[in-house]
């Protein structure tokens, strides 16, 4: 049996897996997508192995991968729901991409202009994020600062770094292990809106907490 046959069976199996469950919500769709992706990855590893039992390894690998991928997707769904329920400020958004969670904290609710000192009333929401990270320990966290393009690029880079570190310090102070957290700034390099308008610049001024499942 050639290598093409296990891959063909793997693809057909993944398509069947995707079609067996009709997603009723966006969260279910992401969970199913994670299961299919896991099946493809696990099956591909099995198909790339050597020996007469390659087909068996492909099927077993697909099954294990589907279980892991589906479990990760379900965990992200639950953590996203918990975060939305625990964060009090509705200007803070939680986005589940299917492979990670992004907690978007607009800069204007965190810091005064040109400052890296956190506003006191926002630390409660950051403590809620820290509690979530402690409740879901199998993840790593990136805290990323962003600015608009007003001012010098070097100044914006430094400011975004200091703001990311300020947010990360609250997570660390509330029990999140330092080994799970990275903080860095992107300055004005990764806008999510046009800098030609004040509304767009306000969207670009932000700190993102990106949660990656292990």
Mean pLDDT of the chain: 81
Shared domain check, 70 and 151: no
pLDDT at 12 over 70: no
Is the pLDDT at 204 greater than 60, yes or no? yes
**Domain limits at 169?**
90-213
Same domain, 99 and 185: yes
Instruction: Please report the pLDDT score of residue 81 as a whole number.
Output: 95
Tell me: pLDDT of 47 over 80. Answer: no
Among 81, 104, 131, the domain boundary falls at: 81
93, 104 contact by CB (below 8 A): yes
pLDDT for position 72: 80
Instruction: From 168, 147, 150, 24, select the one nearest 103 (Cα to Cα).
Output: 168
Return the exposure string of 148-162: e unless at least 16 CB atoms fall within 10 Å of the residue's CB, then b.
Answer: beeeeeeebbbbbbb
Say how far apart CA 121 and CA 170 lie, in whole Å: 13
Query: What's the pLDDT band for 22 if we cut at 50, 70, 90?
Result: very low
pLDDT in tens, 88-132: 888 999 999 999 999 999 988 899 989 999 988 778 899 999 999
Q: Mean per-residue pLDDT for 146-168?
A: 97
Q: Give the predicted TM-score (pTM) of the model.
A: 0.71
95 and 74 in one domain? no
Average pLDDT rounded to a whole number, residues 177-200: 97
Same domain membership, residue 187 and residue 121: yes
How many domains is the chain partitioned into structurally?
Answer: 2
């Amino acid at each position: 049996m050639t290598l093409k046959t296990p891959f063909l069976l793997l693809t057909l199996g993944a398509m069947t897996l995707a079609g067996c469950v009709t997603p009723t919500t966006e969260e279910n769709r992401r969970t199913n997508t994670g299961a299919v992706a896991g099946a493809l990855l696990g099956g591909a590893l099995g198909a790339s192995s050597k020996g007469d039992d390659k087909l068996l390894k492909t099927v077993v690998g697909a099954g294990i991968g589907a279980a892991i991928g589906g479990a990760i997707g379900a965990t992200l769904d639950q953590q996203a729901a918990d975060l939305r329920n625990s964060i009090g400020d509705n200007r803070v958004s939680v986005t589940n991409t299917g492979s990670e969670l992004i907690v978007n904290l607009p800069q204007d609710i965190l810091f005064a202009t040109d400052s890296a000192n956190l506003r006191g009333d926002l630390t409660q929401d950051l403590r809620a994020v820290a509690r979530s990270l402690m409740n879901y320990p199998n993840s790593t966290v990136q805290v990323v600062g962003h600015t608009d393009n007003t001012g010098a690029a070097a100044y914006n880079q430094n400011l975004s770094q200091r703001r990311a570190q300020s947010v990360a310090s609250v997570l660390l102070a509330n029990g999140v292990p330092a080994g799970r957290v990275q903080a860095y700034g992107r300055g004005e390099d990764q806008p999510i809106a046009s800098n030609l308008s004040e509304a767009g610049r306000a969207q670009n001024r932000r700190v993102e907490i990106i949660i990656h499942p292990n």
